[in-house]
Amino acid sequence: MAHVVVSGAWDHRPVKSDDVAKIAAAVGPVVVAFVGAAVAGAGTRNRRSQLKTDAEVLMLLPENSDARRLMESHIEGSITRMAEDDEKRRDPMGSVLALLFLGFAGWTWTLALDGSNWWVAPAIFFTTFGFVGLGSDAFRAKRDERGRRIRPPT
């Protein structure tokens, strides 16, 4: 691990592979979450542009054709699904908390794998709560004002 000397010069010892693994374990879940959010936003923009293209095609079809009725039905269904998806949101506070748990999980797993068996129990705890939190809060779903998932009645 690189250290700063009091004089301000860097210690130029080589970086160990386990140092890289520790950094990757702590930063990895955060990067994955940001990439997932970016991909989801791009998907919504693509759906809207596809809907606009479908509406333009609809205008070109003859009034009484089966293809026109089929396209109208498709566009109506797409708009309904898009409206339902717009009501869905993530719980940002729960997602951040889950990512913190996963960061601590990465750190405690590296301590456990370095030979300290005492860290296995906290590593399992942080890993479990991190993945459960990501599963419940990071994915888009209908939520109430407090961010809790609204489940359909059974």
As a whole number of angstroms, the distance between CA 38 and CA 94 comes to: 18
Give the chain's mean pLDDT. 76
The average pLDDT across 69-80 equals 85
Q: Return the percentage of the chain with pLDDT > 90, whole number.
A: 2
43 has pLDDT over 70: no
Q: Which region, left, alpha or beta, applies to residue 14 given φ > 0 means left and ψ of -120 to 50 means alpha?
A: beta
The average pLDDT across 99-126 equals 86
pTM exceeding the 0.75 threshold for the entire prediction: no
As a whole number of angstroms, the distance between CA 67 and CA 61 comes to: 7
The average pLDDT across 133-143 equals 76
Residue 4 has what pLDDT? Answer: 45
102 has pLDDT over 80: yes
**In this structure, are residues 124 and 116 in contact, taking their beta carbons and an 8 Å threshold?**
no
